[in-house]
């Protein structure tokens, strides 16, 4: 009986192993899903809380057109992350310098791939050591829904400590998957030891790229706590997908 159970276990394990796709296969499926989107228009509500900084809830209108054109309309100042906000999965997958492991897993009764790997330090604007001999080990976990082929979660670790999390819930509009709600979280301890550009890699109307130390000081950085934490919540609504958007919309007026 023991031998039979071991045999069944071996067969089951072999089947799971055979079903595990390579990173190239996963990438192809994920990008193919996103490629169904020619263009879209969407309303976005933004809520931001950061160390020493509060921004009133903002409403913006965002336009996207393949292969990467983005336009944001808003009144006054608004902060918008460059990475991931348009739903383009290749931006996250390209951050991986090399993949260390791929696992099949179940989350909320749904099949997922968990991709683990080392991050290309230049691809993600998170704290980088001042001294070359203190360059941190940056790793990343990426969770991909194995049915809908969308990236639902990205976790970045600095020397095994979580510093950045990006989670997204999706809805189906016109037979394509688009973000419904995204949550960005960042938490960096010992910030006085690091220099960086803005760790959220913010972009959009009214933003610039100051040295992060100045940003933190201007935002009321507490040197006694010596940490920087923040959260941004994006809620998407009133999508218009693949309706056709004129290229002229993306031309900046001088």
In this predicted structure, what is the pLDDT of residue 125? 54
**Model confidence at 206, in pLDDT bands (50, 70, 90)?**
very low
User: Which among 60, 120, 111, 69 has a CA at the least distance from the CA of 92?
Assistant: 120
**Model confidence at 247, in pLDDT bands (50, 70, 90)?**
very high
- The count of other CB atoms within 10 Å of the CB of residue 240 is 15
DSSP β-bridge partners for residue 140: 117, 156
Instruction: Decide: 167 and 131 in contact? Cβ < 8 Å.
Output: no
Instruction: Decide: 198 and 33 in contact? Cβ < 8 Å.
Output: no
In this predicted structure, what is the pLDDT of residue 122? 67
- 206: helix, coil or strand? coil
**Across residues 116-120, what is the average pLDDT?**
90
Residue 212 has pLDDT above 70, yes or no: no
Residue 128 has pLDDT above 50, yes or no: no
CA–CA separation, 240 vs 171, rounded Å? 13
Instruction: Decide: 164 and 153 in contact? Cβ < 8 Å.
Output: no
Instruction: List the structure tokens of 233.
Output: 């919540």
Residue 187, classified by CB atoms within 10 Å of its CB into exposed (0-12), middle (13-18) or buried (19+), is: middle
| Residue-wise pLDDT tens digits, 30-67 | 999 999 999 999 999 998 887 666 677 889 999 999 98
**Across residues 126-150, what is the average pLDDT?**
76
For the ranges 119-128, 158-167, 244-253, which has the lowest average pLDDT? Answer: 119-128
In this predicted structure, what is the pLDDT of residue 51? 67
- Of residues 213 and 53, more confidently modeled: 53
Model's pTM, two decimal places?
0.77
Ramachandran sector of residue 67 (left: φ over 0; alpha: ψ -120 to 50; beta: rest): alpha
In this predicted structure, what is the pLDDT of residue 190? 58
- Of residues 211 and 97, more confidently modeled: 97
Find out whether the peptide bond into 175 is cis, omega within 30 degrees of 0: no
User: Which among 90, 113, 141 has a CA at the least distance from the CA of 21?
Assistant: 113
Residue 15 has pLDDT above 70, yes or no: no
Percent of the chain with pLDDT over 90: 42
CA–CA separation, 72 vs 79, rounded Å? 11
Residue 113 has pLDDT above 90, yes or no: yes
Instruction: Decide: 120 and 97 in contact? Cβ < 8 Å.
Output: yes
Residue 90 has pLDDT above 80, yes or no: yes
Instruction: Decide: 192 and 208 in contact? Cβ < 8 Å.
Output: no
Residue 174 has pLDDT above 50, yes or no: yes
């Amino acid at each position: 009986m023991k031998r039979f159970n071991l045999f069944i276990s071996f067969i089951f394990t072999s089947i799971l192993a055979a079903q595990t796709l390579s990173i190239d296969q996963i990438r192809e499926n994920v990008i193919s899903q996103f490629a169904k989107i020619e263009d879209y228009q969407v309303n976005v509500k933004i809520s931001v809380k950061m160390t020493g900084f509060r921004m009133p809830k903002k409403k913006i209108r965002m336009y996207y057109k393949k292969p990467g054109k983005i336009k944001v309309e808003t009144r006054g100042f608004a902060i918008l992350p460059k990475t991931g906000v348009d739903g383009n999965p290749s931006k996250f997958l390209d951050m991986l310098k090399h993949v260390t492991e791929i696992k099949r897993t179940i989350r909320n009764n749904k099949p997922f791939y968990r991709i683990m790997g080392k991050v290309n330090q230049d691809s993600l604007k998170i704290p980088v050591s001042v001294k070359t001999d203190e360059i941190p080990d940056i790793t990343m976990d990426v969770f991909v829904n194995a049915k809908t082929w969308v990236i639902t979660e990205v976790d970045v670790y600095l020397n095994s400590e979580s510093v950045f999390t990006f989670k997204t819930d999706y809805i189906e509009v016109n037979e394509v998957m688009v973000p419904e709600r995204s949550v960005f979280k960042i938490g960096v301890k010992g910030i006085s030891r690091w220099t960086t550009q803005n760790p959220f890699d913010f972009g959009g109307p009214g933003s610039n790229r100051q040295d992060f130390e100045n940003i933190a000081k201007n935002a009321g950085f507490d040197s006694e706590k010596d940490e920087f934490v923040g959260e941004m919540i994006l809620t998407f609504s009133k999508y218009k997908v693949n309706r056709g958007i004129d290229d002229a919309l993306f031309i900046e007026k001088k």
